[in-house]
Every structure is written in structure tokens, then in C-alpha cells.
Amino acid sequence: MSMARAQQLAAHAIGEVLNGHNLSDVLVQVMQHPELSAADKGALQDLSHGSLRHLGLLQQLVQQMTKTLPPAEIGYLLVIALYQLHFTRNAAHAVVNEAVNHARQLHGGRYQKLVNALLRRFLRERETLLASALKQDEARYNLPAWWLNYLKKHYPQHWHNMVTAMTQHPPMTLRVNRRHTDAQQYLAKLTAAGIPARILDTHSIMLQQAVAVQKLPDFAAGHVSVQDFGAQQAIPMLNPQNGERILDACAAPGGKTGHILEWADCDVTALDIDPLRLKRVQDNLQRLQQQAHLHCADAKELHSWYDNNTFDAILADVPCTASGVVKRHPDIKWLRQPQDSRKTALQQEALLDSLWQTLKSGGRLLLATCSIFMEENQQQLTHFLTRHADARQRQSRVLLPDSKQDGFFYALIDKI
């Protein structure tokens, strides 16, 4: 794939995101093109993720170099080219030439001179332009103003570290299957395979650099899974026990489902509303050589799946804004709106109230989100405890985004 083609597809992806579409969905469509090789797909993913990760800065650079903003397609192209010039090792002359060539095909070529002039100006005046752009908070922190203000209000002592972490490239972290080995023994296998890594916990390892899963020793045999370190904290908190009947209420893609079955010999029911995503749960369990009862259903619609046999424990990994995982999904920063967390909190409320009916007295429910918005986390927990007289909070944890993990919230609730 030529650089011009990569720029074109990445610019298209950025445009789709800014028009309200999820990047993962956009890339699934784009990458179906038969001419794209594995290397092409990797390059396209880097361009789209990277430019969205730094979109605040890149858009500010475009704005301050133009008196009148060009048409959207030209703006997206400039964002991609500026990302290449500032954040990648692509040859500057090639980036500029290919961007100009692509601009020639848009709007009758009226903006090719503008694209050429702006990109060359950036190369000449990079430091001055960057210094000016970084005076704007949205460019400096690559977050919409409302989101940044929210973090400053609710995390006054942590917001700066959080937004710094949210702009970083996510690490590749492994969950070692305790049924087979531990972190120390698996690290030795990685070292023998020439894959540098370090231990985070007894069954958690962080790679120095991401690799294809096929290169991980015994990956196909289920000895290890790729899972964020913060996401790995859910199941130890739920602490499944042998013989328990456990519900994973929003299971896809199956990382936590598999972790439950690695932890103890349980009878697990896994639900998901999306049949394609539920297939991913099945695939993950098959690789781990584990089994669960899978149901494609809306978890809050009890009549469609519940057999009136109560559960000992429930993992309620409820739908949320995913505001804690923007390192892996940078499009979320630009897709979410200020009112979204309140909307999802209402959806969570209905789901949790339904699930509570399926939990036996003496059982426990783990409320889990990958959000850093209070409405979906602490406030949700408080409201739930107020509504249910038979609910008692045992413990809760807020995991903030940092160099090791994404952002999560966990609350373990006992049913008395």
C-alpha cells in the first residue's frame, strides 16, 4: 500500500469518527479491502489511532496555520500528515508529496497548494508552531475542554497524571493462566523466545513491546491471555470458589469469563446481547479449554434467559462510556458528550436492579466499569445501596489510568 493510500484511508477513518462512528467499526470495514496486507493494516491502525490520540494538538496546528478552515476532507488529510511529520519516522518529503498528490484528487485540486504550503511551513517553523499550539489546553492535553474540566473538578490531585497516561500508547499486558503456570515461569519462556518483559503480579506480565499473539509461547494452548492489568483485578476481587454458580452478565469478549474459570472450578453462565461478540467468548473459552453456558440475551430481560435458579456470585461488567480505556480507544475522547455518563448510568441502574433478583441471599455482586466518570461509578453504587435494603458494600476500588493500566471501578456488594 502506498503512503498516499494509507493517508487517504486514515483520513477517511478520522472523518468517520468525527461524524460519530466508532473507530473499531470503521477499521473493520476499511480493512476488508483485499489489497491490504498485514503490514498495511498495521500502518493504517497506527495512523488512525495515533492521530486520534493527539487530535487536539493536530487540529490546533491546522487552525493556527489557516485563516479560513479548509473543507473537512482536507482538514482530515492535514491531521494525518502532521501526525506523520511530528510523531513518526516517515520521510518528511514523502509525507508532504503524497499528501499533496492526494489533495490534488479532492475538490478539483483547489487545495493542493494549501496542503503543500501548510506542511512545509510546519517543517520550517515546527518549534514556534508547537509552542503556540500547546498554550491551548485541548491541544496540550488532547482532551475536549468539558472532559478536562470534569477531571479537574472530580480528581483535583490526580487529573494531570491521568491525562498524561491517557495520551500514552497502551502497553501489552498478559494474564498468565494459573492452571498451567505462574508469571515467574512464563517470564522464563518469554526470555527464551527473545521477548523482553517484566512481572507485574504473580500471574501478570507486561511486555516491553507489543508482539503478535502467535509469537507468545503456548498462547494457542491457553497458557496466557492478553488483558489489561486493571481489568485483571476484577476476578481476584470477586474471588470465585469451587462449586459456585456464577453469572457473567455482560461477558463479551470473554476475558473475565475465562479468568473466572482459571480461578476456580465454577458453573459459569455467560450472557451477551450481541451474537457476534458472544462468538468471541466461545472462541476464547475454547482456546483456554474451558466451558460455560452461553446465552445471547439482554441480561435485564430475565424472562428470556433466567431459569429461577439463583447465583452465588454475579460479575456485572455493565455497559458504560468506556472513558477509562481511551489509551486503547482514543476515538472515545472525541465521541463522548457531557451528558453521556448520565445516560449510561440510567441504563446500568435498570440492569443492576434486574440482576440483583437473580442473586441468592448471602451471595455477592461485583459492579465493574471501565469508566472514570463518577455518575457510572461511585454515584451508581450509592444509588444502588439506597434502593436495595438488602445490599451492603464490602469494598470498592478506583483504578486510575497510569503507565500500567487503564481506568476501572469495582465495587463488591453483598446480599444479606
The answer on 35 and 75 residing in a single domain is: yes
Is residue 189 domain-shared with residue 267, that is, in the same domain? Answer: no
Residues 9, 130, single domain; the answer is yes
CATH of the domain at 48: 1.10.940.10
CATH number at residue 357: 3.40.50.150
Residue 267 and residue 183 in one domain: no
Please identify every stretch of the chain with a pLDDT value under 50, giving residue numbers as ranges.
none
**What does the pLDDT read at residue 53?**
97
- When divided into structural domains, the chain yields a total of 3
Q: Which residue among the candidates 250, 266, 320, 370 is catalytic per the annotation?
A: 370
Q: What's the full length of the chain, in residues?
A: 416
Q: Does residue 370 carry a catalytic annotation? A: yes
- Write the DSSP string, 390-411: TEEEEEEEEE---SS---EEEE
- Given a contact cutoff of 8 angstroms between Cβ atoms, the answer to whether 364 and 390 are in contact is no
At 41 the pLDDT is 87
Q: What is the pLDDT of residues 40-71, one digit of tens each?
A: 888 899 999 999 999 999 999 999 999 888 99
User: What is the model's pLDDT at position 52?
Assistant: 97
Residues 196 and 209 in one domain: yes
pLDDT at site 43: 87
Verify that 220 and 268 share a domain, yes or no. no
Does residue 165 sit within a domain? no
* pLDDT for position 36: 83
Stretch (H or E) spanning 55: helix 55-65
Do residues 195 and 296 share a domain? no
Domain that holds residue 202: 173-226
Specify whether 206 is located in the same domain as 58: no
CA 17 – CA 38 distance, rounded (Å)? 23
Query: Strands of 224-226's sheet, edge to edge?
Result: 197-201, 204-207, 173-176, 224-226
Question: Does residue 158 sit within a domain?
Answer: no
Question: What is d(CA 391, CA 414) in angstroms, rounded to the nearest whole number?
Answer: 6
pTM: 0.94
Partners of 359 in beta bridges: 311
